[in-house]
């Protein structure tokens, strides 16, 4: 039976910054989405993690912990370049490569590597290839196991630059030595839910039947866990990536110059275009939308939020259809409270269907509009921002490209 090789790049965004800038190497680095003091880390170097600074740590907190912390604004396009270079390196060792995110890849191991020794040697060759061809500061942890799920669990066991191999013969022993929270997909809330069904350890999880786990999860997902734990590939981790998405959204923390009533609305229109481009890329259209804003007090930093939505529209994925709807929602925003400024904007499209299932309309050619904007997307892929709607043309450098969770697009 074939086995899975799981590659997890260590502190990927921060490592790219350290690889590109030698002055950052060996120093605590914090990568943030936008260079403002009110934001939080989306990645931290291992030097920063050793100080207690990790993903989600605010800039203010990080500066209190370590005043000399290096704050670096994220460069998503650069990270995607490194992602492609890593995949290219993997192409020299594997035929079957599946990127699960920008810094995680699952690879099928061929029949030439049938022993633990050969798998260990393969991992060393891959690590050396990445070191030599992608960058000496680009470290990775590797997990090898019967399926993607177990290989991912294994890759988390030793960081940074580790290697863990789960053998089929000793799989139960290896897993039952872990804690429930060591398994991807089980957080504190899920662990509490499992405890209500007398599952508090991996051993108890392993011994539970598919029916027990289905009751614990409240869905067929629980039964999938039974088989994933035993190395099944048909209900493996990452298979849900191919499922139809239920929603597509974007959000943005506002830079200081856009923290005005006009600025937050302009940013939202840029987010609208980004969402619709993703929808077209996924081959989907939306029938509902919700927008949301957050406002922050200029002195106390207290927050309040506002949101509004519109539903039951003929599914579409083009700006000409959705822009009037969004403008109507924007017109309903209540007056700004005294001493508050906008700090955040977000938009989420829902009620998604496949583009091929869009119904033709006697009044609006939403299908034709979608195809028009797909052609525009093609032009912008060849040359960034070659064509854009007039209402967002001046904002093409704002709310820049971000790497979404899941498979890079």
Phi then psi for residue 98, to 5 deg, are -125, 105
Cβ neighbors of 366 (< 8 A, separation 6 or more) are 285, 314, 315, 316, 317, 318, 321, 358
Closest among 241, 238, 230, 240 to 146, alpha carbons compared:
230
- Of the residues 47, 104, 119, 319, only one is catalytic, namely 104
Cβ neighbors of 245 (< 8 A, separation 6 or more) are 282, 284, 352
Say which residue the tokens 């899941």 belong to. 406
Closest among 193, 199, 194 to 176, alpha carbons compared:
199
Beta bridge partners of 7: 105, 142
CA torsion 371-372-375-380 (nearest 10°) is -130
Residue 104 annotated in active site: yes
Query: What is the rounded distance in angstroms from the CA atom of residue 126 to the CA atom of residue 122?
Result: 6
Closest among 222, 335, 342 to 293, alpha carbons compared:
342
Cβ neighbors of 189 (< 8 A, separation 6 or more) are none
Burial of 54 (0-12, 13-18, 19+ CB in 10 A): middle
Confirm if 238 and 100 have CB atoms less than 8 A apart.
yes
Query: What is the rounded distance in angstroms from the CA atom of residue 161 to the CA atom of residue 83?
Result: 17
Confirm if 135 and 19 have CB atoms less than 8 A apart.
yes
Q: For helices 319-330 and 261-282, what crossing angle results, to 10°?
A: 150
Confirm if 209 and 226 have CB atoms less than 8 A apart.
yes
Residue 246 CB coordination number (10 Å):
9
Confirm if 255 and 261 have CB atoms less than 8 A apart.
no
Residue 208 CB coordination number (10 Å):
21
Q: Which residues are catalytic?
A: 104
């Amino acid at each position: 039976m074939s086995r899975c090789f799981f590659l997890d790049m260590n502190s990927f965004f921060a490592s790219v910054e350290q690889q590109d800038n030698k002055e950052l190497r060996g120093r605590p680095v914090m990568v943030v989405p936008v260079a403002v003091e009110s934001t939080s880390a989306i990645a931290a170097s291992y030097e920063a993690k050793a100080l207690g600074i990790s993903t989600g740590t605010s800039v203010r907190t990080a500066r209190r912990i370590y005043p000399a912390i290096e704050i670096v604004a994220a460069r998503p396009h650069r990270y995607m370049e490194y992602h492609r270079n890593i995949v290219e390196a993997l192409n020299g060792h594997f035929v079957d490569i599946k990127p699960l995110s920008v810094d995680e890849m699952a690879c099928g191991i061929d029949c030439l590597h049938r022993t633990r020794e050969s798998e260990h040697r393969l991992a060393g060759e891959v690590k050396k290839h990445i070191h030599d061809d992608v960058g000496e500061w680009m470290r990775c942890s590797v997990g090898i196991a019967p399926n993607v799920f177990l290989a991912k669990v294994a890759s988390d066991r030793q960081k940074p630059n580790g290697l863990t191999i789960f053998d089929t013969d000793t799989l139960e022993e290896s897993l039952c030595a872990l804690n429930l929270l060591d398994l991807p997909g089980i957080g504190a809330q899920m662990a509490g839910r499992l405890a209500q069904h007398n599952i508090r350890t991996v051993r108890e999880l392993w011994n539970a039947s598919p029916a027990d786990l289905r009751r614990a999860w409240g869905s067929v997902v629980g039964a999938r866990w039974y088989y994933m734990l035993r190395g099944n590939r048909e209900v493996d981790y990452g298979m849900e990536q191919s499922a139809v998405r239920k929603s597509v959204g974007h959000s943005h923390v506002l830079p200081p110059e856009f923290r005005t009533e006009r600025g937050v609305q302009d940013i939202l229109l840029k987010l609208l275009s980004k969402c619709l481009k993703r929808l077209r890329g996924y081959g989907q259209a939306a029938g509902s939308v919700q927008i949301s804003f957050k406002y922050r007090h200029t002195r106390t930093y207290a927050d309040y939020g506002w949101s509004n939505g519109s539903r039951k529209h003929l599914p579409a994925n083009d700006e000409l259809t959705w822009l009037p709807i969004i403008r109507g929602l924007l017109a309903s925003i209540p007056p700004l409270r005294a001493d508050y400024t906008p700090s955040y904007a977000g938009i989420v499209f829902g009620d998604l269907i496949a583009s091929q299932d869009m119904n033709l309309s006697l009044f609006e050619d939403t299908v034709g509009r979608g195809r028009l904007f797909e052609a525009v997307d093609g032009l912008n892929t060849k040359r960034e921002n070659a064509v854009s709607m007039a209402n967002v043309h001046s904002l093409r450098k704002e709310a820049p490209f971000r790497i979404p969770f899941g498979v890079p697009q």
